Amino acid sequence: MSTENTIDGEIPAQGAAAEAAGIEPGQAPNVEPPPEPAGNRVIREIMSGNAVLSFLAIVLGLLVASVLIAITDPGVQAAAGYLFARPGDTFVAIGNAIGGAYYALFQGSIYNFQRPGFGSGIRPLTETLTFATPLIAAGLGVALAFRVGLFNIGGRGQIIIAAAVAGWISWSFPMPFFIHMLVATLGAIVGGAVWGGLVGLLKARTGAHEVIVTIMLNYVAFYLVAFLLRTQGALQANGSNNPVSPPADATAVYPNLTNLITALGGPPTSFRLHFGFILVILATIFVWYLLNRSSLGFRFRAVGENPNAARVAGINVKTVYILAMVLSGALVGLAGAAQVLGTTTTGFSSGVDAGIGFDAITVALLGRSKPWGVFFAGILFGALKAGGYLMQASQGIPIDIILVVQSVVVLFIAAPPLVRSVFRLPRPGGVRPARRTRRAAEAVAK
């Protein structure tokens, strides 16, 4: 994939796609060739950016957050009241507000210098990885679907179903340690795969658009599990009046870093980072292998690039859609397992997805739908989440600002010409100065 990504670079590809759709051979005249899924064009865009743009998009996201922090800070508002008398105060106040926020973000996500010793100082980094674990798993699932030209917006539903299955296996079937854990994880993966595969099946069999079906299935899953959670004998904890499940059985819970350190005879610690992170690394390697080294992955990518060409080349596009959604759901299901067996093992409610299903979309986009890109994007957003909690606690900045950062980053990532125009960057590979490119882009866009 080249780095060519401006709008004018887009035209030949569009034209070619339209041409390919128009002169499709071997089709009955009364059957319209299916249009190229929008996802395919997105993939071309997402895949062809570069790391600099991602970095600048993150900078812009943090910049927007800084503005929000500054204008809502009481100190800044007080100082702005006498802005013209002593303008310096306002800038000091802004500096304090933003500096304090980002220092808290750093301390909450990487290393806390206020804690004694390395063992507890490094805890924030492990928190980052804990938050990143389900984000990476679900992000991989969404990214895999993107590569096949499918939007999996159904992460929420898939996580909820997967979590319910994992939890149910964990407290219903006593098994020895480790085996129980694997079986419960497998159950979650199957749960997610079924919920995702349903979408693929509907798309392949009836042509139902996966965006609509996944959005709707999110709510179906939510209400289904909400019902099971308040029904005795289903998922509700015995004798409880609240819609909460029983805690996961100890033999099914992922061992965490603290368990490992204790087992090795180390000092008592309170790390939450769990075995799920290792599963997620394995999943990343699996997706990388699948997409880049396997014949199935080749078919996936071929369909993602151009389903019409793929079909002409003898690939069964419908089967690929079903398989892709099954695998995508399975990966998202792993995130559900990480939630129930790793992070919140004390019983879950119908809000078990914690927004991961939608965060996963931003993770996949920031990671440009490449397995390792998703991995690091997941860690970045994990860091924002982990740091966001400390920022909320110590600086009084609501954690919701992380959503703003995430969405702004993704908006900029998705629109490289915008980032280039903000930073007056030259067009990649071009010799022309930035301004002319922008004009050309404008002319085309109009």
Partner 1 sequence: MTRRESQDGATLVPTHPAGADAPIVHEKAVMRSLKFPIVLDVFAVIALILAFALPRSGTSTFSLSTAKDLFQIPPIPVPTVATVIAVAILLVALAVLAHLYVARSASGRVPLWLTTVFALLFLFAFLAWASAGKTIPVPGLLVGSLALSTPLIFGALGGVISERVGVVNVAIEGQLLGGAFTGAVVGSITHSPWAGLIAAMVAGVLVAMLLAVFSIRYVVDQVIVGVVLNVLVTGLTSFFYSKVLAADQSLNHPVRFTKLPIPGLSEIPIIGPVFFQQTIIVYLMYVAVIAVWFGLFKTRWGLRLRSVGEHPTAADTVGINVNRTRFWNVSIAGAIAGIGGAYFTLDSVGTFSKEMTNGAGFIALAAVIFGRWDPIRATLAGLMFGFATNLQYQLASIGSPVPSEFLLMLPYVVTILAVAGFVGQVRGPAAANKPYIKS
- Nearer to partner 1 by Cβ, of 225 and 331: the residue is 225
Of residues 356-375, those binding partner 1 (CB under 8 A) = 358, 361-362, 365
The answer to whether residues 324 and 144 touch, using CB atoms and an 8 Å cutoff, is yes
DSSP 5-53: -SSTTTHHHHHHHHHHHHT-TT--TTSPPPPPPHHHHHHHHHHT--HHH
In the bound complex, what is the minimum distance in angstroms from residue 422's beta carbon to partner 1? Answer: 12
Residue 206 interacts with partner 1 (CB under 8 A)?
Answer: yes
Q: Is 236 helix (H, G, I), strand (E, B) or coil?
A: coil
Among 202, 235, 317, 380, binds partner 1 (CB under 8 A): 202
Among 223, 289, 372, 423, binds partner 1 (CB under 8 A): 223
Among 212, 278, 285, 393, binds partner 1 (CB under 8 A): 212
The answer to whether residues 415 and 7 touch, using CB atoms and an 8 Å cutoff, is no
Binding mask 75-114 for partner 1 (x = CB under 8 A): ----------------------------------------
- Nearer to partner 1 by Cβ, of 159 and 252: the residue is 159
DSSP 267-302: -------BTHHHHHHHHHHHHHHHHHHSHHHHHHHH
In the bound complex, what is the minimum distance in angstroms from residue 403's beta carbon to partner 1? Answer: 3
Of residues 372-401, those binding partner 1 (CB under 8 A) = 396-398, 400-401
Q: Is 174 exposed, middle or buried (0-12, 13-18, 19+ CB in 10 A)?
A: exposed
Stretch touching partner 1 by CB under 8 A, among 183-191, 203-211, 273-281, 322-330 = 203-211
Task: Give the Cα separation of 326 and 319 in Å (integer).
Answer: 10
Residue 10 interacts with partner 1 (CB under 8 A)?
Answer: yes
User: At what angle are helices 371-395 and 123-147 packed, to 10 degrees?
Assistant: 140
Among 407, 422, 438, 440, binds partner 1 (CB under 8 A): 407
Q: What is the DSSP letter of 256?
A: B
User: 329 vs 130, 227, 239, CA distance in Å?
Assistant: 21, 22, 33
User: 405 vs 65, 76, 125, 139, 223, CA distance in Å?
Assistant: 6, 21, 20, 17, 30
Among 92, 224, 309, 440, binds partner 1 (CB under 8 A): 224
Residue 68 interacts with partner 1 (CB under 8 A)?
Answer: yes
The answer to whether residues 191 and 336 touch, using CB atoms and an 8 Å cutoff, is yes
Q: What is the 3-state secondary structure (H, E, C) of 329-344?
A: HHHHHHHHHHHHHHHC
Stretch touching partner 1 by CB under 8 A, among 172-180, 275-283, 304-312, 413-421 = 413-421
Binding region for partner 1 (CB under 8 A): 7, 10-11, 14-15, 30-31, 35, 38-39, 41-42, 45, 68, 72, 151, 153, 202, 205-209, 211-213, 215-217, 219-220, 223-224, 226-227, 231, 358, 361-362, 365, 396-398, 400-408, 410-411, 414-415, 417-418, 442, 444-446
